[in-house]
Amino acid sequence: MTTTISATSSQSNDVLQALALTCVRGERQLFHALDLEVKSGECLHVRGANGVGKTSLLRLLTGLSKPESGDVLWNHHSIQEDPKQYHRELLFLGHRDALKEDLTALENLEMYAALDGISITSEQALASLWRFGLRGREELPVHYLSAGQKRRVLMARMAIRQAKLWILDEPFNALDVDAVQALQNLIAEHLRLGGLVVFTSHQEIVLPQMRVLEL
C-alpha cells in the first residue's frame, strides 16, 4: 500500500485501518480479506460496479454493521472498544440524507450539532448554509428543497461537524457542477487540515492525496 506523505500543515496523525475484512450479505460473500489503511490527510475513493459492496464496506467502517470476520481499527484500537469516542471523530453520510423533512435547514443543522455534542451559534450555522448557496432558504422546511439543495445542507453539516474522519456514500449525487466543485474544495480543505476521507462515487473525482480502491 503506497502512502504519499500527507500535507505539511497537518498536525494530527490519525489512522483508520481495516484488517482482513470479510463481508457476507445473505448467501453472497461480497469481499474477502480486505485490508486498507487511510492516514491523516489522505483520501480513499472506493469504486466498483453496482452491488459489489461499496456501501457495505462503508457501513462496516462506521461500525453500523459488523464484519463476518476481520476488524476495523481507529488509531490502532478496535472501533468496538470505545464506540462513543470513535463516533465523536466520525461523520458518516449515507445515501439517504437523514434530514427531517418537516424541520428547516437551520433547525436540522442545529439539531444535529446538539446531538453530535458540538456547540455552534445560529450565526455559524447560517454562515455555513450561506457558504453552500442556501441563502434565503434557511427557514424553509427541508421538503421544499430539491435533492441537490438537500445535499448542500449536508455539506453545511460537514463543514461545521468538526469530525476527523468523513465516510461519505455517494456524496456527489444530485449535485450541479458548482456544487461538485464546492464539495471537492470542502474535502480538499478537510484533507489539508489533517482529516481523513473515505468516499464512494461513480464520477471521476480529482483530489489531492487520493487513492482508489477497486472492489
Partner 1 sequence: MNAFVTIIHRDLLLVMRRKSEVLTALFFFVVVTSLFPLGIGADAALLRKIAPGVLWVAALLSTLLGLQRMFAADYADGALEQLILTPQSLVLLVSGKVAAHWLVSGLPLVILAPIIGIQFDLDASSLYVLMASLLLGTPVLSLLGSIGAALTLGVRGGSVLMSLLIMPLYIPVLIFGAGAVYANSVGLDITGHFSLLGALLILALAFVPWVSAAALKIAIE
The binding site for partner 1 (CB under 8 A) comprises 62-66, 84-85, 87-88, 90, 92, 94-103, 107, 111-112, 114-117, 141
Nearest Cα to Cα of residue 156 among 117, 114, 112: 112
Q: Which one, 17 or 162, has the nearer CB to partner 1?
A: 162
Query: Rounded to the nearest whole angstrom, what is the least distance from the CB of residue 2 to partner 1 in the complex?
Result: 30
CB of 154 to partner 1, least distance (A): 11
Which residue, 28 or 96, is less far from partner 1 as judged by CB?
Answer: 96
Q: If we measure between CA atoms, which residue out of 74, 34, 40 comes closest to residue 54?
A: 34
200 contacts 33 by C-beta, under 8 angstroms: no
Q: Report in angstroms how near the CB of residue 23 gets to partner 1 at its nearest.
A: 12
Q: How far apart are CB 203 and partner 1 at their closest, in Å? A: 21
Nearer to partner 1, 44 or 58 (CB): 58
Q: What are phi and psi of 163, to 5 degrees?
A: -95, 155
Q: In a 3-state reduction of DSSP, which class is residue 3?
A: coil
Angle at which helices 105-115 and 122-131 cross, to 10°: 120
Question: Of 87 and 192, which CB lies nearer to partner 1 in the complex structure?
Answer: 87
